[in-house]
Amino acid sequence: MTVPLLELRDLATHFPVRGGVLLRARGTNRAVDGVSLTLDRGKTLGLVGESGCGKSTLGKTVVRLLAPTSGQILFEGQDISKLSRRRLKPLRRELQMVFQDPAESLNSRHTVGNLIEEPLIIHRVGTAAERLARVHELLELVGLPASAAERFPFEFSGGQRQRISIARAIALGPRLLVCDEPVSALDVSIQSQILNLLLHLQQELGLGYLFIAHDLAVVRHVSDTIAVMYLGRIMEYADADGLLARPRHPYTRALISAIPSPDPNRRSRRTVLEGDVPSPIDPPSGCPFHTRCPHAEARCRSERPALRQVARDGATDHLVACHFDL
Amino acid sequence: MTDRALLEVKGLVTAFDTEGGRLRAVDGIDIRVEHGRTLGIVGESGCGKSVTALSIMRLLPQPMGQILEGEIRLEGVDLVQADRDTMHRIRGHRIGMIFQEPMTALNPVHRIGRQIAESLILHKGFDKRQALERAVALLQRVGIPAPEVRLSEYPHQLSGGMRQRVMIAIALACDPALLIADEPTTALDVTVQAQILELIASLRSESGMGVLLITHDLGVIAEQCDDVVVMYAGRVAEQAPVRQLFAEPRHPYTRGLLASIPHLETPRKTRLPTISGMVPTLSALPDGCRFNNRCPHADDRCRREQPPLVRTGPDHHVACHHWQRIASEPTP
């Protein structure tokens, strides 16, 4: 059996919630609360959920921008969840991240060339001339002219800036890229350009992606497998087509039916969920979804359903965290 | 459609004076909203869709923004010529508006009840008690539980979806004839978006008001609108009833947009069709057709001559020199 690129075992990231004059901890935000997932080399694991479900916290924890509270992060079999900064540094070459808003993630005082070269300098890669050649190569790889290196981020459009942040993220030749909403700040006509670029880079470089987004149609298009998150937990996990075609968790079903379809002949008879996502600081007892679930019974309020296998789509287990076979 | 439209915009030109000169954000557009119908305006950032809404409300940032040409007739009254007092009587009374970000549109230091009551006192001459009673009814109508309690709460105590419901309650307080919704659900989660869109649709059918819905989301357009205007760089590229537009898009921009969004049926991990290049900035618009530098069909004529919006079928209008040839090709 080959070792997966990334394996999360019962991963949790909690934050203390402080308040009052003395900023004493008054509670705990259980942003990620017991997540187990696997991603194979060169594949894409899509992570969907609504705001506050913990998907960005999970992404940042995977690349160790945040320290997990408990659980394991196995990167190619090695547990990186407790590594010190110094021990982590060589691993930064393997694990990189692309953020939602390139206007914020690129320092506007640096030239594009400097921004892309910076990780190479930090990791002492090559001579100055070699690094410059690498910067030009990276720019062309992401579809920008080599001359872009001398210009500043603000001279570029949103889509081009996202290409620059992708070039920087892949500069050190990582094997895992965490993409946190990489297209949601972009115009519709630009989104497909960036999605195509990510697909192309995956083929060329064999990158594995943890692709975080709220748009299920976008996530399905780029992903091999998809995990649906709600209040810090995985509600459903399956092959990307299997999840969309045969969703088994009531939350996934509601999420799919809520997507407005760009086809006026298919105005859906949708299941509109009542209410909002509850706070992760004081999550509901039992199943976290029971407050909005149309099928909830007494058992759901008291007993938390485990993530269990209900089917198999090809090589992928179809997992659902629900007491019922709906 | 011989009778008078609820809203009729003709030849609207709105410009901003900037350091780089005068930029025409909206450059000669015609739109029409009928009673009881929803017109969607769809387009990308900078296409002029929000400026169109602000022009109708006469809420353009001053002194930079101004309407240079055209007329905006609401129930026959030309809003372009209207004075301050007239606009005060129309805003919040005949036209209600909801914005993208309810947290910035609501006043954080005033209680919800007061913010709803304000327009009722101003426009309907209610006293405070009547206005608050009506506010409770409005909150109930937009689906807010325990409205009496919410009345004395502040915006920060509500969730994003609840705040947008409050915004809708304020917009509808005086039974407006026209509701302008500018990206009303863009800041909301998809399950909450579904609730809000459903609410707007049911309120429209109850009250018979016309709705002008501005969005970048073609899915929202397909589900909510009767008619659609596709805008690009300050102009109308295409205009049609919603089914017609999605079944037979005739402008290369519309066709490109529709093709580029991943559908649930698109084979996974395949290359998506794209529109090359990017939306031009207003200060560097190409000559001729504004889409010519991104259009796969562009020729010399497109680079020289601006295409007029022509009628290509019942209620279907397209601004493209080559729409006939392009429309005969299979939809990408």
Q: What's the rounded Cα separation, in Å, for the pair B312 and A272? A: 38
Q: What's the rounded Cα separation, in Å, for the pair A319 and A306? A: 10
A246 in contact with chain B, both atoms CB, cutoff 8 A:
no
Contact A244 B264 (CB under 8 A): yes
Substitution target from B190, B193, B196 for chain A, most A beta carbons within 10 A = B190
A312 to chain B, closest Cα gap in Å: 19
Pairing of the two strands A316-320 and B95-98: unpaired
List strand residue ranges (DSSP E) for chain B, in order: 7-18, 21-33, 38-42, 65-74, 77-78, 95-98, 178-182, 210-215, 227-232, 235-241, 310-313, 316-318
ipTM of the complex as predicted: 0.85
B317 to chain A, closest Cα gap in Å: 19
The predicted pLDDT at position B1 comes to 46
Substitution target from B231, B263, B268, B282 for chain A, most A beta carbons within 10 A = B268
The predicted pLDDT at position B50 comes to 92
Using the predicted structure, report yes or no on whether residue A187 has a pLDDT greater than 70. yes
Tell me which residue in B194, B216, B263 faces A188 most closely, judged by beta carbons: B216
**What radius of gyration do chain A's Cα atoms show?**
21
A270 to chain B, closest Cα gap in Å: 9
Contact B222 A223 (CB under 8 A): no
The predicted pLDDT at position A269 comes to 60
* CA proximity to A27, closest of A290, A289, A279: A279
The per-residue pLDDT of chain A, averaged, comes to 92
Cα–Cα distances in angstroms (integers) from residue B88 to residues A311, B56, B167, in the given order: 62, 13, 18
The predicted pLDDT at position B20 comes to 84
Tell me the pLDDT tens digit for each residue of A64-76: 999 999 999 999 9
3-state secondary structure at position A242: helix
User: Are the CB atoms for B119 and B175 separated by under 8 Å?
Assistant: no
Using the predicted structure, report yes or no on whether residue A4 has a pLDDT greater than 50. yes
Tell me which residue in B161, B193, B242 faces A258 most closely, judged by beta carbons: B193
Tell me the pLDDT tens digit for each residue of B9-65: 999 999 999 988 899 999 999 999 999 999 999 999 889 999 999 999 999 998 899
3-state secondary structure at position A218: helix
Using the predicted structure, report yes or no on whether residue A306 has a pLDDT greater than 60. yes
Contacts of A244 in chain B (CB under 8 A): 264
CA dihedral sign of residues A133, A139, A144, A150: negative
Tell me the pLDDT tens digit for each residue of B283-303: 889 999 999 999 999 999 999
Q: What's the rounded Cα separation, in Å, for the pair B40 and B229? A: 6
Q: What's the rounded Cα separation, in Å, for the pair A44 and A41? A: 9
Q: Which residues of chain B have pLDDT under 50?
A: 1-2
Name the phi and psi angles at A139, rounded to 5: -60, -45
Contact B189 A50 (CB under 8 A): yes
* CA proximity to A75, closest of A122, A38, A46, A34: A38
* CA proximity to B7, closest of B174, B176, B221, B184: B176
Tell me the pLDDT tens digit for each residue of A129-184: 999 999 999 999 999 999 999 999 999 988 999 999 999 999 999 999 999 999 98
Tell me the pLDDT tens digit for each residue of A6-26: 999 999 999 988 877 777 777
**Residue A259 has which token pair?**
């997507």
Cα–Cα distances in angstroms (integers) from residue B286 to residues B28, B45, B226, B298, in the given order: 16, 17, 32, 12
Domains of chain A: 6-94+173-320 (3.40.50.300)
**Residue B255 has which token pair?**
């066709």
Tell me the pLDDT tens digit for each residue of A40-93: 999 999 999 988 899 999 999 999 999 999 999 999 999 999 999 999 999 999
**What length does chain A have?**
326
To which residue do tokens 């320290």 refer?
Answer: A67
